[in-house]
Amino acid sequence: MSDWFTVEKIDSDTFVISEEQHWEETHCYLLCGSQIAVLIDSGLGVENIKAVVDHLTQLPVRVVTTHCHWDHIGSHHCFNYIAVHPLEKEWLSGHFPLPLEVVKKNLTLSPCCFPASFHLEDYQIFQGIPQQLFCDHDIICLGNRQLQVIHTPGHSPGHCCFYEAKRGYLFSGDLIYKGCLDAFYPTTNPQQFYQSIEKVKHLNIKKILPAHHDLQIAPSIITNIYQAFKSLDDQHLLKQGSGLFDFDDFQIHI
């Protein structure tokens, strides 16, 4: 198997599949239940993540999507069961908000040793019809495990986090990570981002599992991000075009 992906065990039936060599440092998560497995996001799409997933489980796999940005849906075409939030369904049917050329530019922003099988000229943004749409509060059942859908718009209109209450896991997508939190482009909404942080702040979270960058991330970062948004809001800066603000562990770009 290609060494593009790294796999780490979170616990006996949860894995993180990462693309550490790329500047985006993406993380997808494989959760194995007693009946099905769920793959949260499918990565950049420069290498087939399904081969890695098939190596880890023989269960039927459903792909659930934190949001439909290109770096989270890259290998969706390799799976036959895809779930997304309805607000981003059209992005998969000819209305993706970024031109392919811009996506390719982002993909190759920093020097990177891509897999030998990858050819930039063949790269496509996933388009297709999802098998399932999920909404706020929906429960995704894996048999003995349950994931709660938490609609957390702001970074994108249909962004969702997935919360596994029993283990205290929050799969936080692009809402929470150690890096630059983006709410500066047209399809973002800084006020909604702030409200979404407030929404997850009340959950009993033992572990944050982000979609990018450092995996060592303390749940207390949520309070810090909340306070940062609050201070920007208090200064009437929580609107697009305000700029880039640094808070040590994370930045907010609005």
Identify the sign of the CA torsion 88, 93, 99, 100.
Answer: positive
Instruction: Considering only the stretches 36-44, 129-137, 170-178, 198-206, report the one whose residues sit in contact with Zn ion under the rule CB under 5 A.
Output: 170-178
- What does the block give as tokens for 157? 């209109």
> From the list 48, 126, 174, 178, which residue makes contact with Zn ion (rule: CB under 5 A)?
174
Instruction: Considering only the stretches 13-21, 44-52, 69-77, 245-253, report the one whose residues sit in contact with Zn ion under the rule CB under 5 A.
Output: 69-77
> First CA to last CA across the chain, in angstroms?
40
**Of 69 and 85, CB closest to Zn ion:** 69
Contact 29, 40 (CB under 8 A): yes
The contact mask relative to Zn ion for 20-59 (x = CB under 5 A, - = no) is ----------------------------------------
Nearest distance from C-beta of residue 194 to Zn ion, angstroms: 17
> From the list 22, 62, 69, 85, which residue makes contact with Zn ion (rule: CB under 5 A)?
69
What is the Cα–Cα distance from 154 to 194, expressed in whole angstroms? Answer: 8
Integer CA distances (angstroms), 107 to 46, 52, 156, 187, in order: 9, 21, 19, 19
Instruction: Considering only the stretches 1-9, 70-78, 145-153, 242-250, report the one whose residues sit in contact with Zn ion under the rule CB under 5 A.
Output: 70-78
Strands (E), 65-203: 82-84, 132-133, 139-141, 146-151, 160-164, 169-173, 180-182
Instruction: Considering only the stretches 96-104, 124-132, 174-182, 224-232, report the one whose residues sit in contact with Zn ion under the rule CB under 5 A.
Output: 174-182
**Of 56 and 98, CB closest to Zn ion:** 98
Nearest distance from C-beta of residue 41 to Zn ion, angstroms: 8
> What is the residue whose two structure tokens read 């609609």?
151
Residue of 134, 140, 131, 133 lying closest to 35 (CA atoms): 140
Q: What is the DSSP letter of 95?
A: -
Residues in the interface with Zn ion (CB under 5 A) total 3
Residue nearest to Zn ion (CB): 69
Which residues of this protein are in contact with Zn ion, per CB under 5 A?
69, 71, 174
